[in-house]
Amino acid sequence: MIYLKTKEEIELLRENNILVSKTLAEVKKHIKPGITTKELDAVAENFIRANGAVPGFLGYGNPPFPGTLCISVNEQVVHGIPSDYVLKEGDIVSVDCGTVMKGFYGDSAYTFAVGEIAPDVQRLLTVTKESLIKGTEQAKVGNRIGDVSAAVQRHAEAAGFSVVRELTGHGLGRHMHEDPEVPNFGIKGRGPILQEGMVICIEPMINMGTRHVVFERDGWTVRTRDRKPSAHFEFAVAITKDGPDVLTDYDIIENE
C-alpha cells in the first residue's frame, strides 16, 4: 500500500533528511586515509543523538544491523557493516545514513573519495550522481515509477556502466521502507503512477564492471561479483504538484 503524506508530514520528513545531510557532512570531515569505518560510524551516531534523533539503521532488520551507518568501500555496493577497516588513499566509500525523529525517517546516501582517486573511478561517481539527478527530474505527478527508473538506467548505461538490479529505492515515511519499490532500471510508462504526497527514495547503485552482485555471509554486505568499484547516491524526494521536491540537501554535504 502506498501512503500519501500531508504537507505537515512532508516537512517532518524534510527535517529528518536535512539532519541526514548534516550528518553526512559531519562524517565527510573525518574521511581521510587512516580512519576506520567504525570510527566514522561513531561520529555519525554521536551527531544524530546530539541533534535529538536516533539512528534509523541501528538494530534494523534481521539480523539486526549493528551500525548507525551503512559504509560500503570500493567493490561493496551497499549495506557494508562498519568495521576496523582502515581507509586508504584512492578508496571510495558510500555512506548511507538514516534517522528517526518525530515519528518519521530520513534516508540518504553519498559516495565520497578518499584522497586522490583514479580518473575512471571519479567518472563512475560523477555519472552515478548524474543518474540520480536524471531520475529525480522524472519524479513528477502523473509520471510513473518506470519513468524514473528508465532515466537512471539510460544515463548510466550510456556511459558504459552497469545498473544493480537486486536492490531498489523505496517509499519513505513512518517506516524506512514503504511501497512503492523504485528500481534503477525499467521501461518508461510502466509501474505505479506518481501522485502528489508520495515520498520516495531514488538511489542509483552503479557498477564499473558487471551488474551482478554477491550477498556476503554477514547477512548484509552486498558487493560486486567481479570486485570492481560501485557507487551509490540517494535522494529522498516528495512528489508535489510543482514538481520533485528534494528533501535531501547535497549542498550541505558538498559545501562543508
pLDDT digits (tens, 9 = 90+) for 8-61: 999 999 999 999 999 999 999 999 999 999 999 999 999 999 999 999 999 999
Amino acid in the structure at residue 194: L
CATH of the domain at 165: 3.90.230.10
Q: What is the pLDDT of residues 149-203, one digit of tens each?
A: 999 999 999 999 999 999 999 999 999 999 999 999 999 999 999 999 999 999 9
Q: What is the pLDDT of residues 80-129, one digit of tens each?
A: 999 999 999 999 999 999 999 999 999 999 999 999 999 999 999 999 99
Q: How far is CA 23 from the centre of its chain?
A: 13
Would you say residue 46 lies in a domain? Answer: yes
Q: What dihedral do alpha carbons 249, 252, 253, 255 form, nearest 10°?
A: 130
Would you say residue 240 lies in a domain? Answer: yes
Would you say residue 2 lies in a domain? Answer: no
For 234, the domain range is: 7-254
Per cent of the chain over pLDDT 90 is 100
Would you say residue 230 lies in a domain? Answer: yes
Domains identified in the chain, total number: 1
Q: Measure the CA angle with vertex 169, ends 164 and 175; round to 5°.
A: 145
Q: What is the pLDDT of residues 211-224, one digit of tens each?
A: 999 999 999 999 99
Q: What is the pTM of this model?
A: 0.97
